[in-house]
Chain A
Amino acid sequence: MRNYDVIVVGAGSLGVPTAMALGEMGIKTLVVDKKPSPGQGENKHAIGGIRATHSAPAKILVGLRSLEIFAHWAQIHGDDIEWMQGGYLFPVYRSAEETALKGILPIQKRLGLNIDFYDADTICDLVPGINPRRLAGGTFSPEDGSASPLLAINAFYRKAMAFGVDFAFNEDVKSLNMKDGKICGITTDGGIINAPVVIDAAGAYSTALCETAGIDVPVTPDSHEGAITEPVESFFKCMVVDLRPAPGSKNYYFYQNLHGQVVCCITPDPPIVGTDKRETSGFLPQIGARMVELLPRLKNIRVRRVWRGLYPMSPDGSPLVGWNRKARGLFHATGMCGQGFMLGPGIGEVVARMVNDTTTDDDNTVMDEFSPYREFGGQEALK
């Protein structure tokens, strides 16, 4: 019989850094995943952008902490995770985006973010070749950046293992087990595993997981497609986010990674709800048309590969982090809305402190804002 203090369901963007943080506290932790190795769910579909420049305080707080972890990982732990401090750029071509972006600048600055609105010339310097027609400027946050989700999750995985965390791969969780209204473990296709705490880090599959215990968690996956190009000599470093909507899509974003490859992704409109991850023929023409309009020289870069991944969406676009009130011992760390990779390390630490009951003042902001029991009224401005 396998017994643990904590079981984390999902070896993905949230599960692995959370387990790493738990392991560091000496908590006997097991991570279970149906896939054969870490990050094989949606983590590997992330394009690698990491930012703290959100619009809500909790996200900014965990974003800053995540940035710190990513930015210093190689220095502290020695593994290259391809961190690149390229910044995030939101170019502005219309008053709608200008108003929205300028509207959140005060709170971003108040929380200590290095971000400002820059004029068109500065934007043109940051992204050589960007379409200057009607370019009114944009916000730029130089301390944001990017890293390789593939390398990062494996680095976190090795670190977690070093802290004594166990991983059970190729093991499919069949149910959450309850006893007297409390979580007592899980049943997998490999048997029963006992633990008083189970962390739901199942992302797009949280709903199905929690349903096994009669728990309803408001996570609805939708899908986004991404692409990566051949590598070319580096000519820009920042993540470019074009917030303008177009027929069939909302925003799209891209950057040039450390290898010189341009990586991009688009937000379909209306959302494509469901867990279908099969590639569609519509994506490349759709994002291609928008990218070559914004940055015409990209017409000559050759696309190498496409994929489709899931955003586990919460009702309001913010993560769901906290204890379940019905099933004691069940902890939700899910609904990352496509930001699991960038928020994972920061949120993982908060989760570990909550499980270990050693939370800080800042954690209260996070706990309130990300509470699964909050009012789902608003919408994150920079989802």
Chain B
Amino acid sequence: MKQHRITSHPILDTPKNQVVTFTWNGQPMSGYQGEMISSALFSNDVKIFGHHHKDNSPQGIFCANGQCSQCLVIADNLPVKSCMTPLHDGMSIRSVDGLPRLPEDDTPVAVAEIPVIDVEVLILGGGPAGLTAAIELGKLGITTIIVDDKDRLGGKLVLQTHKFFGSVEDSHAGTRGFEIAVLLQQEIETYKSVRVWLNATVIGVFSDGIVGVASNDAYRKIRPEKLLVATGAREKMLSFPGNSLPGVYGAGAFQTLVNRDLVKCSKKVLIVGGGNVGLIAGYHAIQAGIEVVALIEAMPEVGGYKVHADKLVRLGVPILTGHTVVSVQGSDHVESVTIAQLDANWQVIERTHRTYGVDTVLIAVGLAEVNEFFIKARYFGMDVFAAGDAREIAEASAAMFAGKIEGLKIAKALQRYDGDIPREWDEKAEILKSKPGRITESRVPERESGVFPVFHCTQEVPCNPCTSVCPENVIRTEKDLITGLPYVTDYEQCKGCMACIAICPGLAATLVDYRKDPEQPMVTLPYEIRRDKVRKGQLVLVTDVDGAWLGRYPVERVIANKKKHPGTLLVQVRMAREVAKRAVGIWVQEKQTDPSKIYEQGALPDDAVICRCERVTAGEIRSAIRNGVKDMNQLKALNRAGMGACGSKTCRPMIWRIFQEEGVDLGEVTDRVDRPLFVEVPLGILAGIRRGDTDA
């Protein structure tokens, strides 16, 4: 059977995996040993994992991050999250249709006391913030445990195939996220005092100062002197009819499938949300050979970096600002999505509806801090710190820097470090967190001789690797600020080495070389999409920064420096002098999907599912609010919103929003009480059964 996998990728290697066989509802299939069940199923084009016990609606992947429980399947008779459970040979996997049946395994069990492990520092989350903190602690020989629920370190760095922003010295600017993860991991491994527990999930912080950590084979209690919460963020969701259909999921989930697991999970996607996450996801989609029919954004401008947006536009993706998603249609999976334009009051403008045939709708409407452990620990009086997205949503480069600072703060609190934390670190951390600045006019140099880079970045973002890599040291940023726009100080010194072109994370720098032929200068364009589209002699459609076509030009040469700039190709074309300096990108997505499919008014906004776990709709919540409910705990008592497996991780902000829409003063609304467990854990594990001695 055809496997829906990404077999070639411009950036990622496609490793050789051990093929194993398994069954899905009795049907034989093949997958890779150790990959997550969800990815194995997607590779076999299975996207509906079961049907909800309340309304029999189809369920599938949603967070792909172990948090939501929507991807539940029965594996070897036990209900498991398919996105967190590795596949093995001979596995019998079944869909969960209705309630799962508890296996009638009545063998008596033996339990052992759960040991309490004392440690100086416990770090929750092995992502950018947690790892950089651990490095500081490791340098000082402080005993540290890092707990992470995935099978490898790096957190969301693992999903990031693009080159990072920031600066080279502080946040590995110019290096790709997944490569940074490896670098950080390698450094962690050199510190003896740092232990890493993978596949281990924190299930709760308790009032006795103990953090409970569950893995597949055991439950452990950790009593840290200092706790660092670096649990990152979770994706926010939108309310629209059809939002619970399989095929609607987060951009992060998409990146997990595509970039981590190399699964070709879709043919055509529409992306909702023009922040960096949505923009990058669009880029990743095209790198994976998936068509992006459009990216929509409700605001009048995209919120992410302009260079990210430009990259997408140049590839041929329409970015529609001032648009919202009206509904998603499909019988048991996404088949189409309807969008419409918004007026100044955020109301849908009549007759602006457009319906795209897509199989996937990615939601990238922002992130929310995973801060429940931090809040509980603080409430319980523990000595707790937070870094990265768990503290404040920002770029991973900021998280890395923040982790470093918190690591040293913790060391200081432990009296294991008596130096100072440089004041400029805090300033740097702030800068790395800064939102993209205003957009200035394009500043293409006047000159048309010699060789020099043209920088097409016109928006202040914290990024300066071009200044670090220039061997002639002639690239600087305005006022030498990391957020300043780059410029060349002495054009005569440029030797045309292309280092700045290759490292630019925004793919916004080109090299124009007039030396051979001033009328037909050679233009070097950075390129990271399918290599077969830029063979020597092939005609490529070159665009300016905004995606306007500048004409088709034959490829003169393709430079690949695998070692120095893996993944970035430097494509050279000769262009007319008039347009040479305007050239930036190569249009890849040739055909555009026609959004003219007719939209028939279907489900109403009140049919949108707010609490996915308990399938509670916007209408049910609205009606309770209209009956006077202002306490989210009472709301839950009445209709179970937030009582499901995930513990209201996704629905809580959506419920707040409905209160707001209903004109309730949010100051009068009582928030829900959060309680452990963070994820569901088998009672036997909590009881102290160790895997392997269940037959005692």
Contacts and interface: CB of A to CB of B under 8 A. Distances in A.
A299 B694 contact: yes
A234 to B, nearest CB: 8
B208 interface: yes
Contacts of B687: 284-285, 288-289, 291-292, 299
Contact of A129 (B104, B208, B210, B212): B104
Contact of B677 (A36, A128, A297, A305): A305
A232 B108 contact: no
B183 interface: no
A300 B675 contact: no
Interface string B52-80: 01000000000000000000000000110
A231 B682 contact: no
- Indicate the member of A231, A260, A297, A299 with the most B CB atoms within 10 Å: A299
Interface string B92-133: 000000111111111111010110000000000000000000
B629 A37 contact: yes
B111 A302 contact: no
Interface string B656-680: 0000000000000010000111001
B683 A291 contact: yes
B206 A279 contact: yes
B634 A292 contact: no
Contacts of B106: 129, 131, 296-297
18 contacts: A36-B634, A229-B680, A231-B53, A279-B675, A279-B676, A280-B208, A284-B686, A285-B113, A292-B109, A292-B683, A296-B107, A297-B103, A298-B684, A299-B682, A299-B694, A300-B105, A300-B682, A305-B677
B172 interface: no
A302 B680 contact: yes
Q: 10 nearest interchain CB pairs?
A: A299-B684, A288-B687, A278-B207, A150-B637, A37-B634, A302-B680, A281-B206, A281-B210, A37-B631, A36-B631
A276 interface: yes
Contacts of A131: 106, 108
B221 A233 contact: no
B102 A151 contact: no
Interface string A277-318: 011111011001101110011111111111100000000000
A2 interface: no
Given A281-B206, A281-B221, A303-B686, A133 B108 contact: yes
Contacts of B379: 278
Contact of A303 (B207, B380, B633, B683): B683
Contacts, number: 162
A39 interface: yes
B677 A304 contact: yes
B688 interface: yes
A288 B203 CA distance: 15
B694 to A, nearest CB: 7
A133 B689 CA distance: 20
Contacts of A39: 634, 637
A87 interface: no
Contacts of B212: 281, 284
Interface string B261-305: 000000000000000000000000000000000000000000000
Contacts of A260: 53, 99
Q: How large is the interface on A (under 10, 10 to 19, 20 to 34, 35 or more residues)?
A: 35 or more
A14 B677 CA distance: 30
Contact of B684 (A280, A300, A307): A300
Interface in A66-118: none
Contacts of B581: none
B633 A40 contact: yes
A285 B686 contact: yes
Interface string A125-142: 000110101000000000
B104 A302 contact: no
Interface of A: 35-40, 44, 128-129, 131, 133, 150-151, 153-154, 229-233, 235, 260, 276, 278-282, 284-285, 288-289, 291-293, 296-307
Contacts of B103: 297, 300
Contacts of A289: 111, 687-688
B688 A288 contact: yes
Given A36-B631, A288-B684, A296-B108, A305 B676 contact: yes
Contacts of B630: 36-37
B677 A303 contact: yes
A86 B105 CA distance: 23
A303 B108 contact: no
Contacts of A298: 102, 683-684
B689 to A, nearest CB: 6
Given A292-B683, A305-B676, A233 B102 contact: yes
B59 to A, nearest CB: 14
B12 interface: no
B356 interface: no
Contacts of B79: 230, 232, 302
A318 to B, nearest CB: 28
A158 to B, nearest CB: 9
Contact of B683 (A44, A233, A281, A301): A301
B473 to A, nearest CB: 57
A139 B113 CA distance: 32
A148 to B, nearest CB: 8
A288 B221 CA distance: 15
B647 interface: yes
B206 A301 contact: no
B506 interface: no
B682 A297 contact: no
B139 to A, nearest CB: 31
A288 B676 contact: no
A271 to B, nearest CB: 17
Interface string B379-403: 1100000000000000000000000
A39 B688 CA distance: 34
B688 A285 contact: yes
B588 interface: no
B604 interface: no
A35 B99 CA distance: 35
Given A37-B637, A293-B111, A306-B204, 15 more contacts: A37-B631, A37-B633, A40-B631, A44-B637, A150-B636, A284-B686, A288-B686, A289-B687, A289-B688, A296-B108, A296-B109, A299-B694, A300-B103, A303-B683, A305-B677
A150 B100 CA distance: 25
